């Protein structure tokens, strides 16, 4: 007898403003994108992932999420989200797998519970971080985190130690974003740890995260009044501040500079160190060409996409 498959999917995301500073409770604005991961699981005689043995030491997210499962599992994954690219691949995996497992247990998690589960998996895997990626991948659409005067629906509050993150839904106006991937994999944990060490020893780094907070607040106000020019300026300003924090790299800077003549603004997105940049533009073809000319891979992304969802078996 073969066991029933349980399938769920979740979107990737990009950060318009506020990455890294959000780890310290500062505001951020994030949109989910039309690149998704789907995960299917079923009870099995052996632990397998896409037909291969599962090495749980190399798969900390899987190890955390299956901590209470007392039988072997077969996992099948299919993903459009490049791994280690700052587009939320690990948070999307955690959200989709957490949701599929909860359906298999017969106790489907609600959005807030799923955020906690996916965020704990991220913390287990990377040590430090905010619940921003988990929130965006679970909710979909757009979210703001700790943004003052947020007008959208309050979704949830996540607390760890003395830090609190208030997450609200945001209605983003229709805008065109082009993402450029450097193709360089850059795991989030070490980059977040690098910024933490810098902040621990330097007031200057603390001041830079405060400046990112101001830029994010100003960008949030621009977004609310549909002012793409000001929002773009804040994105470019944020890139400069993130570069000073030491999380950009030559390839990202080259792609940001190549995109800027055709964009309202451009910046690295996610943890940096490689991964991706994003440009806000109404000339997407020219931006794609500029990104390609610097060796990157462009994606014109769609936003306004659904969050984590369970896909019932058609039978
Ligand atoms: C990574 O997408 C975003 C960071 O701010 C880390 C985090 O918030 O956990 C760099």
CA-195 nearest atom, ligand 1: 10
Domain borders along the chain are 6-172, 177-301
Residue 12: the pLDDT is: 98
Q: Is 91 in the pocket of ligand 1 (CB under 6 A)?
A: no
Nearest-CA residue for atom 6 of ligand 1: 129
Express each pLDDT in 4-54 by its tens digit. Answer: 999 999 999 999 999 999 999 999 999 999 999 999 999 999 999 999 999
Same fold flag, 6-172 and 177-301: no
Express each pLDDT in 110-126 by its tens digit. Answer: 999 999 999 999 999 98
**48 C-beta neighbours (distance < 10 Å), count:** 16
> Which neighbouring-strand residues pair with 251?
none
Q: Is 271 in the pocket of ligand 1 (CB under 6 A)?
A: yes
| Mutational pocket test of ligand 1: of 191, 270, 274, the residue with most ligand atoms within 8 Å of the beta carbon | 270
Residue 309: the pLDDT is: 98
Give me ligand 1 centre to Cα 4, in Å.
Answer: 35
**Which range is least confidently modeled, 81-90, 132-141, 151-160, 202-211?**
81-90
Cβ-based neighbours of 56, under 8 Å, separated by 6 or more: 47, 62, 63
Express each pLDDT in 181-230 by its tens digit. Answer: 999 999 899 999 999 999 999 999 999 999 999 999 999 999 999 999 99
Q: How confident is the model at residue 315 (pLDDT cuts 50, 70, 90)?
A: low
Residue 103: the pLDDT is: 98
Express each pLDDT in 234-277 by its tens digit. Answer: 999 999 999 999 999 999 999 999 999 999 999 999 999 999 99
Q: How crowded is the C-beta side of 117, counted as CA atoms within 13 Å?
A: 27
Q: What is the DSSP string of the chain?
A: -PPPPEEEEEEEEEEEE-TTGGGGT--EEEEEEEEEEEEEEEE-SS-EETTEE--TTS-HHHHHHTTT--S-EEEEEEE-SPTTSSS-HHHHHHHHHHHHHHHHHT-PPPHHHHHHHHHHHHHHHHS---SHHHHHHHHBSEEEES-TT--SPEEEEEEETTEEEEEEE--PPS-EEEEEE------HHHHHHHHHHHHHH-HHHHHHHHHHHHHHHHHHHHHHTT-HHHHHHHHHHHHHHHHHHT---HHHHHHHHHHGGGSSEEEEESS-SSSEEEEEES-HHHHHHHHHHTT-EEEEE--S-B-SEEE----
Residue 36: the pLDDT is: 97
CATH entry, 6-172, from 3.40.50.300, 3.40.50.620, 3.30.230.10, 1.20.1560.10: 3.30.230.10
Q: How confident is the model at residue 314 (pLDDT cuts 50, 70, 90)?
A: low
Q: How confident is the model at residue 173 (pLDDT cuts 50, 70, 90)?
A: confident
Q: Is 269 in the pocket of ligand 1 (CB under 6 A)?
A: no
As a whole number of angstroms, the distance between CA 133 and CA 93 comes to 11
Q: Is 129 in the pocket of ligand 1 (CB under 6 A)?
A: yes
Residue 313: the pLDDT is: 76
Cβ-contact 142, 303 below 8 angstroms: yes
CA-21 nearest atom, ligand 1: 5
Residue 3: the pLDDT is: 87
Residue 2: the pLDDT is: 67
> Which neighbouring-strand residues pair with 144?
29, 168
Give a three-class secondary structure readout of 277-315: EEEEECCHHHHHHHHHHCCCEEEEECCCCECCEEECCCC
Residue 155: the pLDDT is: 98
Query: 88, 111, 82, 85: which is closest to 98 by C-alpha?
Result: 111
Does 1 score more than 60 pLDDT?
A: no
Q: Is 270 in the pocket of ligand 1 (CB under 6 A)?
A: yes
Give me ligand 1 centre to Cα 131, in Å.
Answer: 8
Q: Is 213 in the pocket of ligand 1 (CB under 6 A)?
A: no
| Catalytic site positions | 133
CATH entry, 177-301, from 3.20.20.140, 3.40.800.10, 1.10.443.10, 3.30.70.890: 3.30.70.890
Share of the chain above pLDDT 90, in %: 94
As a whole number of angstroms, the distance between CA 55 and CA 42 comes to 17
Express each pLDDT in 64-107 by its tens digit. Answer: 999 999 999 999 999 999 888 899 999 999 999 999 999 999 99
Residue 83: the pLDDT is: 85
CA-132 nearest atom, ligand 1: 8
Residue 311: the pLDDT is: 97
CA-129 nearest atom, ligand 1: 9
Q: Is 23 in the pocket of ligand 1 (CB under 6 A)?
A: yes
State the pairing for strand pair 176-181/276-281.
antiparallel
């Amino acid at each position: 007898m073969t066991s029933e498959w349980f399938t769920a999917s979740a979107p990737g995301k990009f950060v318009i403003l506020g990455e890294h500073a959000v780890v310290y409770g500062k505001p951020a604005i994030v949109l989910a994108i039309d690149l998704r991961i789907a995960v299917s699981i079923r009870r099995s005689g052996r632990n397998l992932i896409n037909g291969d043995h599962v090495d749980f030491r190399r798969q900390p997210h899987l190890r955390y999420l299956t901590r209470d499962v007392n039988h072997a599992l077969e996992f099948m994954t299919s993903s459009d989200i490049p791994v280690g690219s700052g587009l939320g691949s690990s948070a999307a995996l955690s959200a989709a797998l957490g949701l599929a497992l909860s359906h298999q247990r017969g106790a489907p998690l609600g959005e807030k519970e799923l955020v906690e589960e996916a965020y704990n998996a991220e913390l287990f895997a990377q040590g430090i971080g905010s619940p921003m990626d988990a929130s965006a991948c679970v909710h979909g659409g757009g979210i703001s985190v700790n943004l003052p005067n947020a007008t959208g629906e309050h979704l949830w509050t996540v607390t760890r130690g003395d830090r609190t993150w208030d997450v609200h839904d945001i209605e983003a106006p229709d805008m065109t974003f082009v993402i450029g991937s450097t193709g360089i994999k850059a795991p989030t944990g070490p980059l977040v740890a690098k910024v933490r060490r810098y902040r621990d020893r330097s007031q200057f780094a603390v001041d830079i995260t405060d400046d990112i907070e101001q830029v994010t607040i100003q960008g949030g106000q621009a977004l609310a009044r549909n002012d793409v020019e000001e929002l773009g300026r804040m994105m470019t300003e944020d890139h400069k501040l993130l570069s000073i924090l030491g999380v950009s790299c030559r390839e990202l800077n080259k792609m940001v500079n190549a995109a800027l003549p055709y964009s309202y603004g451009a910046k690295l997105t996610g943890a940096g160190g490689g991964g991706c940049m994003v440009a806000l533009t109404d000339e997407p073809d020219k931006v794609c060409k500029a990104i390609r000319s610097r060796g990157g891979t462009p994606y014109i992304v769609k936003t306004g996409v659904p969050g984590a969802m369970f896909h019932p078996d058609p039978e």
